[in-house]
Amino acid sequence: MATKILMVCLGNICRSPLAEGILQSKLPKDKFHVDSAGTGGWHADELPDSRSMKIASKYGIDISNQRARQFQVQDFHTFDYIYVMDQSNYQNVLQLAPNEIVKSKVKLILDEITPNKKAEVPDPYFGGEDGFEHVFQLLDEVCEQIAKRLIK
Ligand code: 4NP
């Protein structure tokens, strides 16, 4: 059965769609399923932010097939790993956890490269295109590390 990884941010239109597309591009499709969701539901069914689609496409990744959705309690059972972008996502997801066991699936994504630093992938939504380049580079680095660990 495929290993399932869920990327979570607030709106599921900027950061987590990029994380989904980047990690997917580094893993064999037959063995891994990567998805993303937002803790908020305001953007449900929307395309990723045009700036996320643009930066992904600059690096050869097409995320235009994605549509936003809200994180749901069932995701704790469906997914093996749940990566959140920042502390507020972390708190929002943990609040929904039905038991302690599933809480251990939830990790701050940048802990994979800088453990215990509580580093966050900054929300680029209200900023300019530079922010999206920065987010892409951060996610590319951490997804490379996650993919290496998952494949070995
Ligand atoms: P994301 O960015 O969490 O990376 O998708 C945001 C997108 C939308 C909003 C906030 C953050 N919003 O407030 O609508």
Set out the domains of the chain in order of their start, with CATH numbers: 3-151 (3.40.50.2300)
Contact 3, 150 (CB under 8 A): yes
Q: Examine the pLDDT at 152 and tell me if it is beyond 90.
A: no
Does residue 74 register a pLDDT over 90?
Answer: yes
CA dist., res. 52 & res. 59, Å (int): 11
Nearest CA to ligand 1 atom 7: 11
Give the pLDDT confidence score for residue 66 in this predicted structure. Answer: 98
What rounded mean pLDDT belongs to the chain?
98
**Average pLDDT of the residues in 73-77:** 98
pLDDT in tens, 15-65: 999 999 999 999 999 999 999 999 999 999 999 999 999 999 999 999 999
Residue 107 bridge partners (DSSP)? 83
Cα–Cα dist 67/78, whole Å: 18
- Pull the structure tokens for residue 128: 């300019």
What is the crossing angle of helices 129-151 and 15-26, to 10°? 40
Average pLDDT over residues 103-122: 97
CB distance 66 to ligand 1 below 6 Å: no
**Token couple for 46:** 């929307």
Q: Is the pTM of this model over 0.85?
A: yes
Give the nearest ligand 1 atom to 9 CA. 3
